[in-house]
A = this chain, B = another copy of it.
């Protein structure tokens, strides 16, 4: 008799985005004339950079010619041209990573979940509250116990290192989705030290690193900028927000050679080796065409073009920050992050309804990311300029 993985029975139904979709649909049906500005889901709106499109078209042409056709990649880890380009990108902000510590992936979401395959069920997972729901859901699917580190208004929505609680795996995300808060080097050092003391592994989601302002020295772009992180961290990176790859699907996961984990008797195993084994058996790499597109992102021209898109979104974020500054409403994010997380002074869902029905703007209720998010609300800076300005006008009228 085929039996279900009981982890799936412990999942909450993911009401958040289903509920948002349902409410928007119902409102639209009842009010067909009123266009809704969507600032809920963190999806980009600007097209791919011209160098990326060009590189993918060239690669597609190569695939149509016998002499340049590419079949299976040898390792499924990614072509060395792309792993070297990603290592060069790390170097551009002062972090030294070897190309064979980089695994090309189809995005941060897949690897945030898949990485837990190599860790046993007997690991306690710590997740900040609020957090991106995938960390919790994939841990529960894997039958792992989940505990929470509070991130609240008092801590600027950065999770606080626990004193008497031991975790084996720790998910951290900076700049944070949903709160927009970026860890300082000091805060991140605190977590690295905690992990080293507990022989824990940090799974560091750096999907939004490119939104940290280049002149901002105190918010690391990578956890590997912190002393000791190579012995306790895996970093998950993505081109989704950095280069508009949400529909193009490419990211990379960095596993330092020094990183170790254990069996029950304390025998030591190398994480990179075991992750390679997992990928070798359950993954066959990212399409050649897409890898060529990703390589172009890291070229000088690609960096320039994608930086322009990021600047566009950050100007949206600035317009949003300005609005909340003027209204005197507390918020985090908007500076080194494409999210604004603000205090809505009522239950999150109530504010969602109000903003939707009164002003036709859709956002995301903070409580959807954890209990500490209640009374808070997320808006994204990924809209068009026009919609961002219009939405802020409506927010001013409402608040």
Contacts and interface: CB of A to CB of B under 8 A. Distances in A.
Interface of A: 1-6, 8-9, 11, 14, 41, 43-50, 52-53, 56-57, 60-61, 63-66, 69-73, 106-107, 109-110, 113-114, 117-123, 133-134, 137-138, 141, 168-169, 198-201, 244, 246-250, 261-264, 269, 274, 277-278, 280-290, 293
A53 to B, nearest CB: 4
A325 to B, nearest CB: 29
Contacts of A134: 281-282
Contacts of A48: 60, 63-64, 69
With most chain B CB atoms within 10 A of its CB, the pick from A61, A70, A284 is A284
Contact of A106 (B4, B106, B133, B288): B106
Contacts of A133: 281
Given A53-B60, A72-B247, A109-B282, A120 B66 contact: no
Contact of A282 (B14, B43, B114, B269): B114
Given A119-B5, A138-B282, A281-B134, A53 B61 contact: yes
A287 B70 CA distance: 18
A67 to B, nearest CB: 9
Contacts of A287: 247-250, 287, 290
Contact of A71 (B246, B269, B284): B246
Contacts of A5: 117-121
A71 B57 contact: no
Contacts of A283: 106, 109-110
B285 A2 contact: no
19 contacts: A1-B199, A2-B119, A2-B169, A2-B200, A3-B264, A4-B261, A11-B277, A47-B64, A48-B64, A57-B57, A57-B61, A63-B247, A109-B283, A134-B282, A138-B281, A138-B282, A141-B278, A247-B288, A249-B287
4 closest A-B pairs by beta carbon, nearest first, are: A113-B282, A53-B64, A70-B247, A43-B71
A324 to B, nearest CB: 26
Contact of A4 (B107, B262, B286): B262
B53 A63 contact: yes
A282 B64 contact: no
Nearest to A42: B72
B3 A262 contact: yes
Contacts of A14: 280-281
Contacts of A247: 63, 69-73, 285, 287-288
Contacts of A64: 47-50, 52-53
Nearest to A282: B113
